[in-house]
Amino acid sequence: MLSRAPSPQVVSSATVFNVLSHGKAAFPRILDRIAEARRSIALRAFDWRDDATGQAVGHALLAAGERGVAVKILKDRVGMHYEYFEGNNQSLFHKDIDLRTRLSTWLLMASYGRWGSLAQTPSPLAQALLAHENITVAHEEKRYDHAKVYVFDDEHVILGGMGIGDDFQHENVDFMIDVSGADAASRLADGRVAFDPERTFDYLLHSHEGTADHDTIATQRLRLIGSARHRLTIEMAYIGDAACTEALIQAVERGVQVTLLTAARANVIADLNLHTCAELLSRTGGPSNLRIVLHPRMVHGKAIVGDGEWVDVGSTNFTPLSHGGYEEVDLFCREPGFVRSVEAAIWEDTRDGVEARLPLSYNRLYAQIERAVAAYQARRRAP
């Protein structure tokens, strides 16, 4: 089921949390927040397609600039490679393709077995955004920023796993989270503060450089997974990080009920995903406390719920690239009502899937190639 209304608002003191499950709930809220903004909008984007959804967001931001709102867009140049071979193959901002970009994109397409188009149609909307006096667009840098974050008037934050495009709005299984209130944005604006899991909510500001307390993204997540006593409910787009796989195996072996939802065939690293699912099943013996559900649609969400007590939801995958190369932003929260809402949304998504059983069918050679590409990207922060 792709269309679902937002969950009831969950309030913690002055902060309100709202689960926006799937794009048909998320993008209307994003457009409403843009329309309501009066002072400032800050946006971090990895994927931004030149399609109906991408243009709707762009036109809304242009209208905000017209009414005097200060708009800042950080569009990562790394994401352009994926814009060329996913969705409608059109990038909103990255229309000029030099030889090095062309070669890198061809290599990625060959590695993933996905073929797109490097023929780009000019975008008057992109040019209008770039030229507007109230809109700042940084789109020529390789920031290695995989985060999907919107901040409105320093009072409202929307974050999660969705890029900007028709596939994110209409096809993918994914989450965005709307956080509102006096302190919704203040912790995020503090920069690389030390993650504090004892807070009711905090932002995991994942970086290849680590956070202020020198914890890396992998350290933070492994600690959370290792703390689970009863159950882990996970929706994850991309898997394959060896340390995460080991942590999940250990959780199963200590009796934790582990439920993992991922795509039956992911848009990229599909064979590595299935190889990792097969490894989890084979190494644990496929016990009753391990349930891997393969969804017929692309699962692009990234959420972990531990013991029904905490949730980590955002842009971060179980991959070496997320854990070693990219900038990421997740929300960590202990608010009971919100945790229940996220876990219920994951369980609802599993209803459309099929439980994985050995043997799983995948291309072992492609799985090896995908693992090598992911390791190279994480080490070199490529493409």
Q: Is the pLDDT at 261 greater than 60, yes or no?
A: yes
Quick one: pLDDT band at residue 214, thresholds 50, 70, 90? low
Domain assignment present for residue 131? The answer is: yes
Per-residue pLDDT reduced to its tens digit, 49-85? 999 999 999 999 999 999 999 999 999 999 999 999 9
Of 47, 42, 45, 50, which is closest to residue 126 (Cα–Cα)?
50
Domain assignment present for residue 2? The answer is: no
Assess whether 30 and 115 both reside in one domain. yes
Distance (Å, whole) CA 157 – CA 180: 6
117, amino acid identity: S
pTM comes to 0.93
CATH number of domain containing 63: 3.30.870.10
Mean pLDDT of the chain: 91
Assess whether 369 and 220 both reside in one domain. yes
Domain range for 151: 11-181
* Whether 189 contacts 179, CB under 8 Å: no
Count of domains forming the chain? 2
Among 149, 181, 213, the domain-final residue is 181
Helix, strand or coil, per DSSP, at residue 297: coil
Structure tokens at 194: 């030390």
- Distances, alpha carbon 299 to alpha carbons 60, 243, 296, in Å: 27, 21, 8
Among 134, 160, 181, the domain-final residue is 181
What integer pLDDT is reported at residue 2 of this predicted model?
A: 36
Assess whether 20 and 168 both reside in one domain. yes
* Whether 79 contacts 45, CB under 8 Å: yes
Assess whether 116 and 158 both reside in one domain. yes
Domain assignment present for residue 3? The answer is: no
Domain assignment present for residue 75? The answer is: yes
Kindly state the percentage of the chain with pLDDT values over 90. 76
Per-residue pLDDT reduced to its tens digit, 316-373? 999 988 988 889 999 999 999 999 999 999 999 999 999 999 999 999 999 998 888 8
Distance (Å, whole) CA 119 – CA 106: 13
